[in-house]
Amino acid sequence: MAAQLALTRANLAKDLIGPTLAAANSNTFPAALVRHGSLRNGAMLALRFVQARLLSVWGLLLAAALCPPKVFTDFAIFGALANFVAIMVLLRFEAVFFQSNDRMRLGRAFRLAVTAGTMFLAVATILVLFAAAQSWVLRGFGALFLISLASRAAIRLLLAEATAEGDFGTIGNSNVVQALVQPGMMILLIWPLGPVSLALFAADAFGHTVTACYLVWRRRRSLLRMLHPARWSLTELLAAGWQWRSAPTYLLPSTLLSFGFSVAPLVVLPMSSDPVLAAHVVLAMRLLDMPAQMFGAVTTPLVMSDLRGHRDRDRQRRARLLTWAMMAAAIALFVAIALVAIGADLLILNGTKWGGVGEVMAVMTLFYGCSALVGPLQEMGTFSSRPRSQMSANALALAVIAIVIWSFGSLSPALLAAIGLVSLLRLLLHLRLTWTAIGKAPLAAAA
């Protein structure tokens, strides 16, 4: 908090002396202002996410201590399924937000995404009601899934809009809100209901819903302008859907394939004959997912907002520079995590039921480190003129990892290491695409 306050004061001071500096050196000041502004935005956003993760990690660790391993595993599967389906809700039309600085274009894309999301959620509701009527799922679990799905889709849409508009304060604060609400609700529900799946599912749905409501409130002025009844037109929606048809055709399958790859460790859990090892993998996934999400949540808005203001060769040069910076940050972050995990395993967890989880985390840092870096590279691919290549890279990586999992046949540290190596190869494919295909006009924009 003190660091954030210091940065805020420094920003205010720089804003006050800005006109004087500009008058003294009008040629170099604009570029310096953009550069230092990006650094300040990045630092402020990173601080907010660090605050959010420090606030949320205690709830995760306490839930891990209170809940049996099976409940924790069920919660991981529930979250993964909700995240996977939430990607499809908007049909990836939110990716169009970053391809132009035109606010009218942003409004058209936003209304198109809202329309697609509403239709998708209506169909999902019918399917869940049918499944509940057939007793395939419990009604309570189905209702919580729908709430969690709708709130996740709303968060995805509103964060994309805030990123396109450069509202990094709202992006950072939304994660702090979720970090305060969701773990606290988890503990409050475990107390009366006991350490059962329902408590964790309900806390997840409640936390995401509160976060979505906060985003709506913070972005209400912009949303009211874009969603004003006078701005809706069936002709416009049909024309926009046809113009940006590459979003559901290429960008959506690519993102789904990427997500399928990211949950590979979760897929191998049923292959384990050792419930303790499976629980260690689940906890390691939850702990490593936090820095991976933090890395993507900090870098992606800044990178996409930055690239949105560049064109052609200048955009390609900028993409390469940003890629180098992200690679250095990811390597430093996940190497440090691996070392801390091994140390904690030896000094703190040895002899407990979670003893050995540090070694599992160290092995899985390669997978999560590469996946964390692929996240922003995947979003940068929305500027590419070759979205088919990105989709093919994700499909190839998913096919290779499926073969690797089938070859090993059971969960083991060796399988986790092999999955990490495949993740590294996938990263190299994305780096190649980012290095060569960002400077040209995006296919979605050219359509």
Tell me the pLDDT of the chain (447 aa) as tens digits.
Answer: 334 434 333 343 333 333 333 333 333 333 333 344 455 665 666 666 666 666 666 666 777 677 777 787 788 788 888 988 999 999 989 888 877 677 788 889 999 999 999 999 999 999 999 998 988 888 888 999 999 999 999 999 999 898 888 788 888 888 888 888 888 888 888 888 887 888 888 988 999 999 999 999 999 999 999 998 888 999 999 998 998 888 888 888 988 898 888 888 777 877 777 777 777 788 788 788 878 887 887 788 888 878 877 776 787 888 889 899 999 999 999 999 999 888 877 777 666 666 777 788 888 999 999 999 998 988 887 777 677 888 888 999 999 999 998 888 888 888 889 999 999 999 999 888 888 777 655 544 444
What pLDDT does 193 receive? Answer: 81
Residue 219 CA to its chain's centroid (Å): 20
CA–CA gap between residue 247 and residue 132 (Å, rounded): 32
Residue with token string 């190497």: 335
What pLDDT does 88 receive? Answer: 93
26, HSE (Cβ side, Cα atoms, 13 Å): 1
What pLDDT does 280 receive? Answer: 79
What pLDDT does 197 receive? Answer: 83
308 contacts 98 by C-beta, under 8 angstroms: yes
Residue type, 337: I
What pLDDT does 6 receive? Answer: 40
Residue 364 tokens read as 């899985």
How far, CA to CA in Å, does 154 sit from each of 135, 150, 357? 29, 6, 34
CA–CA gap between residue 348 and residue 346 (Å, rounded): 6
User: Own/partner pairs for 102-111, CB < 8 Å, 24+ apart?
Assistant: 106/161, 106/164, 106/165, 106/226, 107/225, 107/226, 107/231, 108/236, 108/240, 109/240, 109/244, 110/157, 110/161, 110/226, 110/227, 111/226, 111/227, 111/231, 111/232, 111/236, 111/237, 111/240
Helices within 25-167 (DSSP H only): 29-66, 69-89, 103-133, 139-164
What pLDDT does 319 receive? Answer: 86
Helices within 309-437 (DSSP H only): 312-344, 357-380, 387-408, 413-436
Residue 53 CA to its chain's centroid (Å): 14
Name the DSSP class of 91. Answer: T
What pLDDT does 25 receive? Answer: 39
